[in-house]
Structure 1
Amino acid sequence: MLNRRTLFGAAFAGLALAGVASPAFADWKADFPELTIAVIPAENASTTTDRYQPLADYLGKQLGVPVKLAVATDYAAVIEAQRAGNAQIAMYGPASYARAVLTGVEVDPLVVPRHSNGATGYYSVIYTLANGPYKSIDDLKGKTLALVDSNSTSGNNAPRFFLHRDGKDVDTFFGKAIFAGSHDNAVLALAQGTVDAAANSWNSEDDSNLTRMISKGVLKNADGKPMTKEDFRIVFKTDFLPEGPFSVLSALPADLKAQIKQAFLDMPKNDAKAFAGLSDGKDTEFVAIEPATLQPIIDMVKFNDEQRKKGS
């Protein structure tokens, strides 16, 4: 488990030094005998491990060195792991990538997934329970909202930005806004009746964090009964958001970065099972992404930062 305090611990001190070195070596494996991929905690720790360990194993086979998976306890831990050079590869959400860039972490976005609907992005939504009294975002004034993490896109930054555009400030419109820590936890809080609404990610009617939880049978109501997507109502939906990138440290040798990128691009044909496991079969491929595509998210995070400073 990766957290901001340990940053994987002293065992990775040597790799941290190697991770920020930039000389071009004839054989990068001499300087990187092991790599680490850090991932944000979109789900609970065990589910995240089940989903991403096959990716780490696949990358290890393709690159010819062991690739260790580190599941972060929060989004900031991934940012700090890359800042320290402890994680050469990272899976970010768009806003956590933006936060890394804005705080001086030098990273290169490599690839994003393309979903089965052809999109390379998603939306942020706010759910309520379908059998509850809240049928629109206006009905939630003074109520309790579950966010995800301060560095989450769909679980904090996008709702703040687009609700503000609509004249609603999250911190004053809702009676209380709490951080649940992961997308799963936010939905679970709503299902259990702990909160009145929950922010989350949404690709399509049949592909969202909600539908993945339902397919795994982990989503139950306060009475312990299994839930379906019909048990939830979307009362707010943002504009389209670019998908979060798999990124690498900019200082890595160019040939290593190229090999990592190619390994991602080749994954659907080289290890179809591991690739399908990343999205429960809802993604079709990885595609390259340029930093400019994520600039609107950087601008969004900067805007939210400015609004927070005004309110403090």
Structure 2
Amino acid sequence: MLNRRTVVGAVALALLSLPAAAQDWQASYPEITLGAIPVENATGTTDRYAPLAAYLTRALGVPVKLRVANDYAAVIEGQRAGNIQIAFYGPASFARAVMTGVGIEPIANQRHSTGASGYHSVIYVLASSPYRTIEDLKGKNLALVDPNSTSGNQAPRFFLHKAGHDVDSFFGRTVYAGSHENAVLALVQGTADAAANLWNSEDDTVVTRMATKGMLRTADGTPLTQRDFRIVFKSDFLPEGPFAMLDALPADLKQRIRDAFLALPKADKAAFDRLSDGKDLELTPVTAKDYQPIIEMLRFNDTQRRRS
């Protein structure tokens, strides 16, 4: 029969055991690295993810260092080498990591103000241009983002192929801009006739975020807004990219990481809002199964590339 003394003793023993358990994984991981793909330029990505790293430092009890990758592949390879323990991926870069044997577990992804945990790939042209349909862009120049970007490469290739257009033969020239922001800037500066990008909703896109930061201006200095861009192609719905962690991490550390992410929206609302400029509602748990359609999309694109 349990009495108060027994219960108190049991709780005390449990509490005493917690520091020892923490020390077990802290000895192997005295510092943790959080990697992020370059959706924005390096400064913008740092500003967006630094509050999350600070929050995770407090939640995990060890320093969490932010590493802003030069490209999407750097995050994949950093996790393959075990140098990046936690990372933010796009869905295609996560799928590529899984397909190439990187041992990772998805944790959660962001649910947007629309209520959806996902987005679309779009192809923009300037509203002032003569281009009104995707067919108008035949032989023109397209700015893509990165080979491992979902909205900026893999989804346009997949869905345009379904529409009867092979990206490499349909467009006169394709270039990888390196980030979503750089692809938009290539369009604004006239080095590309169109740009692939991501689209959450009318008031939540890379374009709206760049406009808020004052990054979009014409040659004479006139500021641009979302209305100055026309969408000529939109993909089917895509799952939002996940935060993911190495599956080789100790079980108690993984649980602590998972709990920290799911608690983030309420535990540190400012850090959570910084990730999306306050456009997201929460973080929702995800599994590898949620990204199986993206794996199939990449396999299809890989097959088409080998045939060309």
TM-score by length of 1: 0.91
The equivalent of 1:262 in structure 2 is: 259
Match of 2:189 among 161, 184, 192: 192
Deviation at residue 25 of structure 1 after TM alignment: 8.3
Deviates more, 1:128-137 or 1:214-223: 214-223
Q: How does 1:76-225 map to 2 (within 5 A)?
A: 76-225=73-222
Match of 1:240 among 237, 241, 244: 237
> Structure 1: how far apart are the matches of 2:75 and 2:218?
32
The equivalent of 1:5 in structure 2 is: none
Question: Which of these two proteins has the greater Rg computed from alpha carbons?
Answer: 2
The equivalent of 2:13 in structure 1 is: none
Deviation at residue 31 of structure 1 after TM alignment: 1.1
> Structure 2: how far apart are the matches of 1:224 and 1:174?
30
The equivalent of 1:283 in structure 2 is: 280
Q: How does 1:55-70 map to 2 (within 5 A)?
A: 55-70=52-67
Aligned-partner residue type, residue 84 of structure 2: A
The equivalent of 2:35 in structure 1 is: 38
Aligned length: 288
Q: Which runs of 5+ in 2 are unaligned?
A: 1-20
Deviation by residue 1:109-143 (Cα, 9 ceiling, x = unmatched): 01000101100000000000001010110000000
> Structure 2: how far apart are the matches of 1:298 and 1:262?
27
Deviation at residue 29 of structure 1 after TM alignment: 1.1
Deviation at residue 216 of structure 1 after TM alignment: 1.0
Deviation by residue 1:26-78 (Cα, 9 ceiling, x = unmatched): 72112110000110000000000000011001001000000000000000000
> Structure 2: how far apart are the matches of 1:246 and 1:300?
20
Runs of 4+ that moved beyond 4 A = none
The equivalent of 1:310 in structure 2 is: 307
> Structure 2: how far apart are the matches of 1:106 and 1:70?
19
Deviation by residue 1:163-190 (Cα, 9 ceiling, x = unmatched): 0001100000000010000000000010
> Structure 1: how far apart are the matches of 2:32 and 2:226?
39
Tell me, what secondary structure is at the counterpart of 1:145?
strand
Aligned sequence identity (%) = 66
Deviation by residue 1:234-291 (Cα, 9 ceiling, x = unmatched): 0000000000000000101111111111111111111111110000000011010011
> Structure 1: how far apart are the matches of 2:79 and 2:38?
16
| Contact 1:124–1:238, Cα closer than 8 Å, also in 2 | yes
Deviation at residue 193 of structure 1 after TM alignment: 1.0
| Contact 1:25–1:253, Cα closer than 8 Å, also in 2 | no
Deviation at residue 219 of structure 1 after TM alignment: 1.1
Match of 2:250 among 247, 250, 253: 253
> Structure 2: how far apart are the matches of 1:42 and 1:109?
19
The equivalent of 1:13 in structure 2 is: none
**RMSD (Å) for aligned C-alpha atoms:** 1.0
| Contact 1:98–1:297, Cα closer than 8 Å, also in 2 | yes
> Structure 2: how far apart are the matches of 1:163 and 1:41?
24
Tell me, what secondary structure is at the counterpart of 1:278?
helix
> Structure 2: how far apart are the matches of 1:284 and 1:229?
22
Aligned-partner residue type, residue 224 of structure 2: M
> Structure 1: how far apart are the matches of 2:81 and 2:130?
48
